[in-house]
Amino acid sequence: MNFFVTGTDTCVGKTLISCALLHGFAGQGFSVVGMKPVACDDADFSEDVRALLAASNVLASRGQINPYSFERAVAPHLAAKFVGVRISLERILQSYSELETQADVVVVEGAGGFRVPLNESQDSADLARQLKLPVILVVGMRLGCLNHALLTADAITRCGLKLAGWVANCVEGEMSMLNENIEALTERIKGPLLGVVPHYQTVPDAGVVAACLDLSLLKH
């Protein structure tokens, strides 16, 4: 019942969808916890981590939920290098294994896109592969998303990982031929469309977004 959430890019709604998944599973009676292995927006207390904590119903330490937190909003390997830190997948895996014993569902949110570097030789795809988790892909629906989504979906399957499903998140107020773009992705992505999240003027409550997702499509 654990998942790795990735996106076609940064700022496509990975945290929102991760929190919605947590709300949805919690509503089914499961104990849930979110994990953000690497956050690059606030070294003190990342907004993404705050959101995941609020959506979780299992009390876990911040060190478990967020092993690495950096102030600079840049790629993880650069944010880490700036402060003289090397991101270790082993440390992340240890935190994940601890969370796995505390909750029925662990939702791990990746940083940036699927292939964003984490250190000098490993990237987010390597982390997902070592976690051995099915992947949920968040597609930010905007011009250019077809290529980004299909390349990412292909990268996930080439890594030997299961694409558990994908979410169409309408990050723009109006996208030309939105329905046709969603149909094109549905025909080509080998994983179920879990839901379409409409555009909101302000960040919506994750519980509201959870209602847009069909968790019954997440087969194990």
Predicted pLDDT at 46: 87
Lookup: tokens for 166: 């994908």
Asked if residue 21 has pLDDT above 70, the reply is: yes
Least confident stretch, 20-24, 142-146, 172-176, 178-182: 172-176
Q: What pLDDT sits at residue 43?
A: 64
Task: Return the closest-CA partner of residue 35 out of 7, 9, 61, 70.
Answer: 61
Give the model's confidence band at 41: pLDDT under 50 very low, under 70 low, under 90 confident, else very high.
confident
Q: Quick check: 67 pLDDT over 60?
A: yes
Q: How many CB atoms lie within 10 A of CB 155?
A: 18
Specify the 3-state DSSP secondary structure of 69. strand
Separation of alpha carbons 188 and 122, rounded Å = 28
For the ranges 70-74, 117-121, 148-152, 188-192, which has the lowest average pLDDT?
70-74
Residue 12, judged by CB atoms within 10 A of its CB (0-12, 13-18, 19+), counts as: buried
Print the domain residue range for 157.
Answer: 3-217
Instruction: Provide the residue type at 131 as one letter.
Output: L
pLDDT at 45: 74
Lowest model confidence (mean pLDDT) among 42-46, 81-85, 134-138, 209-213: 42-46
> What is the SS3 assignment for 37?
coil
pLDDT at 44 over 80: no
Least confident stretch, 21-35, 37-51, 80-94, 181-195: 37-51
Number of domains in the chain: 1
d(CA 120, CA 117): 7
* Ramachandran class of 82: left when φ > 0, alpha when ψ lies in -120 to 50, beta otherwise: alpha
Task: State yes or no: pLDDT of 18 exceeds 70.
Answer: yes
Give dist(CA 15, CA 150) in Å, integer.
21
User: Residue 42: which pLDDT band, with cuts at 50, 70 and 90?
Assistant: confident
pLDDT at 220 over 60: no
Across 74-95, average pLDDT: 96
Q: Encoding tokens for residue 94? A: 């240890």
User: Of 170, 173, 174, 178, nearest to 197 (Cα)?
Assistant: 170
The CATH number that applies at residue 100 is 3.40.50.300
Mean pLDDT of 165-174: 93
Residue 203: per-residue pLDDT: 82
CA angle in degrees (0–180, nearest 5) for 176-174-195: 90
Looking from the CA of 92 toward its CB, the CA atoms found within 13 Å total 27
Active-site residues, by number, are 36
pLDDT (average), residues 40-66: 90
